[in-house]
Amino acid sequence: MPVLGSLLDQAMEDCHIMDKTTQPDGYGGVVTTYVAGAEIKAAFAFDMSTQGRIANVQGATDTCTVTTRKSVVLQAGDVIRRDKDGMTFMITTNGNDYMTPKSADLNSRAVKAKVWKPVKGGSDG
């Protein structure tokens, strides 16, 4: 296996895709909750650019690139949770847009994501 592939393997962390469920709230609305679904491995690279750091200071949400194996296709709007700290991320791009070619030894797919906190007891923000 190429060195880059083994480094990527070492960076992969245990995560779960969060499944969105809705239930009536008893008052004519709905309550949205997220429950742990499929377990996946993912690597996270946060935006450490000068522009990204300035935006964070000004209150913008942290963004990152999430790298998975090609067999994991995340889509915009999907939510994943990193198991080690419970941090949640909402995917903002489509997984079919950024992946290594079939001929490549490196087996990866990348999406952009933002750090995300669901709104308690209501919409999914």
pLDDT at position 125: 45
Q: Which domains does the chain have, with CATH numbers?
A: 3-22+38-115 (2.40.10)
pLDDT at position 4: 53
pLDDT at position 16: 98
Tokens of 46: 């946060």
Lowest mean per-residue pLDDT among 2-6, 8-12, 58-62, 72-76:
2-6
Residue-wise pLDDT for 63-120, tens only, equals: 899 999 999 999 999 999 999 999 999 999 998 888 888 888 788 899 999 999 876 6
